[in-house]
Structure 1
């Protein structure tokens, strides 16, 4: 008997196990390092190497052979994985020297270094559990963090030195603070100099951040977890930068802004990017590592907010700056002071700079993410088929990762200098679903929309109950040309629903103006667009959708949107499942929330407009609230406070608390049964 989709989806971590990822190309293009589990149900990630000339793959590191025991992660590493949404175990990240001859990684708190040519791995003695080990460019040393202190281990002598020791229990050196990791995708807090004789190091002090307690009511004997959480309008961690020399020197690098967005240290410059607390001003600064003095390279401002874009700053061989900024209505690639992409091509990220060429991802159609290069003279398309692509480039060799609606899973190909394509196989499990997805535009704003119908449905044969399945919030998309994004939607469709997924205002891919329409109101535009998309799809499928039976489900921002829908538009939505919803934006973090709503003390009415509490008395439709009690991102207080407001208003509703579950719900049994319980709730609520 074949395994059910909910069970298989849970066991495969939503079919991500077995997919190659984490690519590093050696500077000569001869080898490609990557991460992959041995099968689509194996959660232990291994390190592999591909010889681009012979096409031969080699298993370099298998964690099971290292006798590291059961995976026992230090709390800081668990937090890092939660921030990066990492669902697998084993070697989930690694670093290499500049020539990619040596790799370093952490496993169950231990520090390991691998000689890649010999495939020989050894464990190094450390002072404690290791976080974020990073090799120096010359491969002679590895820096890591333990107990909040930054250490440097000399690989030839075994000498382990402490470069910076925390002055109190609230201080860490060398780690990204919560806001940087969760909201700016900066997962690191130390950077080696190109010569390997110094590091740029972040010092973060969480003392000003308010203390919250994440309790486990299912286990009253356990003390609550203590967490510093920077809720909107409250203090952030204080961050500072220092250049720490291996000779014992310590040079402060002062900067004025609240946020350190990112840093980079290459042969051309030590660069830092800072962001004001209101996020309307971003500065790129060049730092003299000898004195700590900084020079303003460029300043970007926006009346709404300035976007943090991954992969920049970077430099071409001649020192020209590679940057991404909003200009003339588009997110554009800049080389030097000149934009080299048109405003109609929305640049998503810079993926690599290989001498004088820039590899970047961008969208013309918001449902597509294509690869392009700028070679110093012209723009050249790298990906030529419809789909969603990402990649790497070094030594004239490229790695292309492709997804689309026509092909199952993720396809990865290495393209050599001579144009020969070498596939890297995926071991991911097949979902066993017959996808029936149609992408298009709907509604007055021509919103990107996906319509997912049951594989067995004959057009016009009957009207199906509708399930809206959005995320719907800023900086995230659901409607993309890739099969993997619709597997759960298709499974819900197979249960008898017409599933509609729509990306409204605030979502990326259509340019800065579209994204900034949620400024000052995260509720009204998002909800209006879901209604608009629903009615637009109903016009396109007049004989297939039953608008008298419309439900909505979502997680995180999508959970907020689902609850909002039944509270404010019960005339349209007849039932909702809200998973880990943000119910009051005053309870969510500073960087994300203040970007869109400003400071709550300065604009309290804006927060009230986007809160669900004022609408509690309006509930007249079935609402299921789901929340992990161990969630440290959208804490369970969001759901519990909304439930209290609903109870005070005398409004019946259902709450499903998940003991020990975080924002990701990685546990197999939980993930499987959550799907089954949602379907059961929706069918009963719609009287199906």
Structure 2
């Protein structure tokens, strides 16, 4: 008998296992290195290499052959790094290469390995402690890594291993991205090699000013609580500093005044750093003299709301021209030098690669599409020509193209050679086994991007179905995209008898600057208004299929906040809610995310009150299920527990499902499987 969708969804980590990812193309375009598990249910990620000329694919490293275990013994810092990056698999989940992509280094169970791609030999290097984020020097002669908060470098020929910087106290680390950088700025690294392989730019982070929270597991009282440094809104962040550390023992400080280090890059043209002020309204790009630490301001971007951090920049063309992304004329635009080379109607999302004089980037004209484009120094060219969600890499004139759409299962990956020949890299992902019935369009007064998911067995107009709103709804994230993966869980809920609506409201990307900034100083009102607007718009389009007397809403994280908000403030519209890991009081969430939209709670507390759920607790009159992992270090369980206390004090009935040992990701298979089943059971009973 075939497995149920909830079981298969859990076993496959939401159907991500077996999908090729993490591509690196050699500078000559002859080889592509990538990660992939052996099957769609195998959680152990292996390292692979494809020869683009012969089309021959080779398994380079199978972690089981190195230490024979599926389960890894990870150091706490690596577990935290994977939680920040939402990494659900095991094995080799990250790697780094030298410039010529002849060697690869990676950490496995805290041990350091280096593989020679040409000879196929993999060896373990001796280190004084568990290894985090190893990275080879461009010349392939050294590997730098972090252990015990120290940045160390090992000479691969001699085996000589030494610390370039050691922590001065237990709250200090060298070479690691601090919590805020990893969780909210998409910066997962804390050190960068020089192109000459003779020095590194290294972040020093001191968490001493950050308040300590304790995350306990009440189900296991014999275990001590975990002390977590968590910078909640309005409280101090970690102190970050930068140093250029030479292999000759030199140490040069790179001072900066801004609160956040958003990014850094060190290429043949410049050592660059990108900084951001605490209010996130000013971003500065500096070039740094590595010998003296002196900075030169290259550009400054300001915005009365906030300045966006865009992945992949700064970068440079071969002639030294700066590649950058900034807001201009209401759009996110690609700049080369001082010139915008994309129109304001094309919303640039990320720069993926710069190959000599060509820039590969993703952008959206339609917010439900993420297309691949290049700028070749003279003209703007579309790489992807079909409807869908695309990404890729580019080096040596060779490209890697990944494609997702509503028309095909999973992720399709193709290597495009210089002669135009396409070489597929197969995916081993399991098929979900669902018959998708998804219609994407616009709905409501604001013409919001909306997906309507109906049961495969439903005949239009034959009966009115109870409605399930299934949003994320928060800024800088999307649910409505032209790909099947966005709607698998929604389709499964639809098969249980619901008409499911997924809508992206104001704050979500892809529709320009004004649309995104409509949530400034209010994360509650626009998000809730837009879900109602979308619901009413879909009801007009499907008058004989939706039962508006039975409307439920479910969500996780910001979506959980939105679900609870819906039944508290608009019980006339929403009749039941499942709120998973909800933010309930934004004072309890982190600095960078929260202050971007709501400012400093010490300066404008009324803004936080307007977006808090606590004042609405006495209004609850609909069934509400609160779900929270007690080990969640992102949205801590205090959010749910405090809301539950406020509801109890108001005499309002509700349900709470605490998940012992579960983080924000809910990675455990049994938990992920049964959460879907429990939600359906709750919603069916709540809606009668």
Q: TM-score range by the shorter chain?
A: over 0.9
Give the Cα–Cα distance (whole angstroms) in 2 for the partners of residues 135 and 184 of structure 1: 24
Give the Cα–Cα distance (whole angstroms) in 2 for the partners of residues 137 and 51 of structure 1: 21
Instruction: Give 2:202's aligned residue.
Output: 201
SS at 2:489 equivalent: helix
Instruction: Give 2:28's aligned residue.
Output: 28
SS at 1:559 equivalent: helix
Instruction: Give 1:17's aligned residue.
Output: 17
Give the Cα–Cα distance (whole angstroms) in 1 for the partners of residues 64 and 434 of structure 2: 33
Structure 1 gaps, min length 5: none
Give the Cα–Cα distance (whole angstroms) in 2 for the partners of residues 521 and 119 of structure 1: 55
Deviation of 1:118 after TM superposition, in Å, equals 1.1
Deviation of 1:352 after TM superposition, in Å, equals 0.1
Deviation of 1:67 after TM superposition, in Å, equals 1.8
Please give the per-residue CA displacement for 1:8-55, whole angstroms capped at 9, x wherever unaligned. Answer: 000000000000000000000000000000000000000000000011
SS at 1:105 equivalent: strand
RMSD value, Cα: 0.4
Give the Cα–Cα distance (whole angstroms) in 1 for the partners of residues 168 and 379 of structure 2: 52
Give the Cα–Cα distance (whole angstroms) in 2 for the partners of residues 127 and 186 of structure 1: 26
Aligned ranges for residues 518-667 of structure 1 at < 5 Å?
518-667=519-668
Q: Any conservation in 2 of the 1:553–1:576 contact (CA below 8 Å)?
A: yes
Give the Cα–Cα distance (whole angstroms) in 1 for the partners of residues 91 and 305 of structure 2: 41
Give the Cα–Cα distance (whole angstroms) in 1 for the partners of residues 3 and 121 of structure 2: 39
Please give the per-residue CA displacement for 1:607-629, whole angstroms capped at 9, x wherever unaligned. Answer: 00000000000000000000000
Deviation of 1:648 after TM superposition, in Å, equals 0.2
Instruction: Give 2:380's aligned residue.
Output: 379
SS at 2:46 equivalent: strand
Deviation of 1:68 after TM superposition, in Å, equals 5.8
Give the Cα–Cα distance (whole angstroms) in 2 for the partners of residues 56 and 542 of structure 1: 54
Q: Any conservation in 2 of the 1:68–1:107 contact (CA below 8 Å)?
A: no
Deviation of 1:433 after TM superposition, in Å, equals 0.2
1:502 correspondence with 2:507: no
Instruction: Give 1:394's aligned residue.
Output: 395
SS at 1:412 equivalent: strand
SS at 1:532 equivalent: helix
Deviation of 1:160 after TM superposition, in Å, equals 0.2
> Deviation above 4 Å: which 4+ runs of structure 1?
none
Give the Cα–Cα distance (whole angstroms) in 1 for the partners of residues 534 and 68 of structure 2: 51
Aligned ranges for residues 142-541 of structure 1 at < 5 Å?
142-541=143-542
Query: Residues 255 and 68 from structure 1, CA distance in 2 versus in 1: closer, same or farther, beyond 3 angstroms?
Result: farther
Deviation of 1:119 after TM superposition, in Å, equals 1.2
Q: How many residues are matched?
A: 687
SS at 1:169 equivalent: coil
Give the Cα–Cα distance (whole angstroms) in 2 for the partners of residues 542 and 422 of structure 1: 47
Q: Any conservation in 2 of the 1:409–1:484 contact (CA below 8 Å)?
A: yes
Q: Any conservation in 2 of the 1:346–1:509 contact (CA below 8 Å)?
A: yes
Give the Cα–Cα distance (whole angstroms) in 1 for the partners of residues 407 and 470 of structure 2: 21
Give the Cα–Cα distance (whole angstroms) in 2 for the partners of residues 531 and 31 of structure 1: 50
Instruction: Give 1:43's aligned residue.
Output: 43
SS at 1:79 equivalent: helix
Give the Cα–Cα distance (whole angstroms) in 1 for the partners of residues 120 and 407 of structure 2: 38
SS at 2:210 equivalent: coil
Give the Cα–Cα distance (whole angstroms) in 2 for the partners of residues 532 and 619 of structure 1: 22
Give the Cα–Cα distance (whole angstroms) in 2 for the partners of residues 384 and 525 of structure 1: 34
Give the Cα–Cα distance (whole angstroms) in 2 for the partners of residues 243 and 77 of structure 1: 24
Structure 2 gaps, min length 5: none
Give the Cα–Cα distance (whole angstroms) in 2 for the partners of residues 408 and 188 of structure 1: 33
Instruction: Give 1:116's aligned residue.
Output: 117
Give the Cα–Cα distance (whole angstroms) in 1 for the partners of residues 602 and 163 of structure 2: 42
Give the Cα–Cα distance (whole angstroms) in 2 for the partners of residues 671 and 221 of structure 1: 26
Instruction: Give 1:137's aligned residue.
Output: 138
Q: Any conservation in 2 of the 1:35–1:48 contact (CA below 8 Å)?
A: yes
Give the Cα–Cα distance (whole angstroms) in 2 for the partners of residues 485 and 99 of structure 1: 37
Give the Cα–Cα distance (whole angstroms) in 1 for the partners of residues 226 and 182 of structure 2: 20
Please give the per-residue CA displacement for 1:302-335, whole angstroms capped at 9, x wherever unaligned. Answer: 0000000000000000000000000000000000
Instruction: Give 2:4's aligned residue.
Output: 4
Instruction: Give 1:63's aligned residue.
Output: 63
Give the Cα–Cα distance (whole angstroms) in 1 for the partners of residues 234 and 450 of structure 2: 35
SS at 2:415 equivalent: strand
Give the Cα–Cα distance (whole angstroms) in 2 for the partners of residues 207 and 276 of structure 1: 20
Q: Any conservation in 2 of the 1:473–1:506 contact (CA below 8 Å)?
A: yes
Using structure 2 for the length normalisation, give the TM-score: 1.00
Give the Cα–Cα distance (whole angstroms) in 2 for the partners of residues 256 and 123 of structure 1: 41
Deviation of 1:602 after TM superposition, in Å, equals 0.4
